[in-house]
């Protein structure tokens, strides 16, 4: 069970985050200021840290993060911030955060990103062949097969599928897809990502069984051999 440290001064947000993470199966410890947070970071190993950008105490969230990275500690850190601007995001990432989420946020987005950070080790592993159920994706040959049948994909569809397969069984949000596949960070206004997914689905799921891409209502998508709990039918 992954353990997670939450450093957040606002009691309401802290409870909301902690409750959500606990419900998703994390072991959660919460601190309300940068001094206690920094001490906790020294005490134990954490699988993931959720860190508020603005904190009371000597250092703010960025300061805590910089100290952590200065020690050579690469614990995954997600910055939470009310400062909704790309500039702030860039500053957070530059200070060594692994992801950035601005308030207000929906729990599903936070959970998807925290889970993504916990599994980062798998993501960075150098592989040339990804496999989910009967689907294989060959990164070297740029080839996708299902049940041995080759499937023709556009380059971007290939990258989209690769991203989903690398995050197998894990919810990915629309914003995460836009960031991970198209490398743009903004809130896509309409269903532009949904349309891309539905096109991809038409190619990999339509003529095969079982369906691999599942829609998670109000959150995003998950690619897995079996639909997980709380997921709506595709």
- How many whole angstroms separate alpha carbon 43 and alpha carbon 49? 13
3-class secondary structure, 103: coil
- Give SS3 for 33: coil
Window 60 to 119, contacts with another protein (CB under 8 A): 84-87, 90, 102, 104, 106
- Closest CB to another protein among residues 31, 109: 109
218 by DSSP, 3-state: which?
Answer: coil
Site size toward another protein (CB under 8 A) is 24
User: Rounded to an integer, what distance in angstroms lies between the CA atom of residue 216 and that of residue 213?
Assistant: 10
Residues 4-23 that bind another protein (CB under 8 A): none
Nearer to another protein, 120 or 199 (CB): 199
Q: Which stretch binds another protein (CB under 8 A): 12-20, 67-75, 117-125, 190-198?
A: 190-198
Helices assigned H by DSSP within 56-154: 61-70, 86-94, 107-118, 120-124
The binder of another protein chosen from 142, 195, 225, 226 (CB under 8 A): 195
Of 189, 206, 229, 233, which one interacts with another protein (CB under 8 A)?
189
Within positions 207 to 226, which residues make up the interface with another protein, using CB under 8 A?
Answer: 217-218
d(CA 193, CA 106): 18
Rule CB under 8 A: say whether 192 interacts with another protein: yes
Distance separating alpha carbons of residues 138 and 129, to the nearest angstrom: 5
22 vs 156 by CB, closer to another protein: 156
Phi, psi at 146, each rounded to 5°: -130, 125
Shortest distance, CB of residue 184 to another protein, whole angstroms? 5
| 129-132 sheet: strands from edge to edge | 129-132, 135-138, 143-146, 149-151
CB atoms within 10 A of CB 140: 7
Please, what is the minimum distance in Å from the beta carbon of residue 124 to another protein?
24
State yes or no: residue 184 binds another protein (CB under 8 A). yes
Smallest gap from Cβ 194 to another protein, in A, equals 9
Check binding of 42 to another protein (CB under 8 A): no
Nearer to another protein, 147 or 156 (CB): 156
In this structure, what token pair is assigned to residue 75?
A: 């614990």
- Calculate the dihedral angle through the C-alpha atoms of 32, 187, 108, 167, rounding to the nearest 10 degrees: -110
Binding site residues, another protein, CB under 8 A: 84-87, 90, 102, 104, 106, 156, 182, 184-192, 195-196, 199, 217-218
């Amino acid at each position: 069970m992954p353990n997670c440290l939450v450093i957040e001064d606002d009691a309401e947000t802290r409870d909301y985050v902690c409750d959500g993470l606990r419900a998703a199966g994390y072991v959660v410890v919460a601190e309300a200021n940068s001094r206690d947070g920094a001490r906790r970071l020294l005490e134990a190993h954490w699988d993931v840290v959720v860190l508020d950008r603005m904190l009371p105490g000597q250092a703010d969230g960025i300061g805590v993060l910089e100290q952590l990275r200065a020690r050579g500690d690469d614990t995954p850190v997600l910055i939470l911030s009310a400062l909704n601007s790309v500039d702030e995001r860039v500053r957070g990432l530059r200070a060594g955060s692994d992801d950035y989420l601005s308030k207000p946020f929906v729990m599903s987005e936070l959970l998807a990103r925290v889970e993504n950070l916990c599994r980062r080790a798998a993501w960075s592993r150098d592989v040339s062949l990804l496999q989910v159920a009967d689907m294989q994706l060959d990164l070297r040959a740029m080839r996708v097969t299902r049940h041995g049948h080759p499937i023709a994909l556009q380059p971007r569809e290939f990258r989209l599928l690769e991203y989903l397969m690398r995050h197998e069984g894990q919810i990915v949000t629309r914003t995460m897809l836009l960031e991970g596949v198209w490398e743009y960070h903004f809130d896509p206004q309409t269903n532009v990502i949904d349309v891309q997914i539905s096109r991809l689905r038409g190619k990999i799921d339509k003529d095969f069984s079982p369906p691999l891409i599942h829609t998670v209502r109000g959150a995003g998508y998950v690619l897995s051999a079996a639909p997980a709990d709380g997921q709506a039918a595709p």
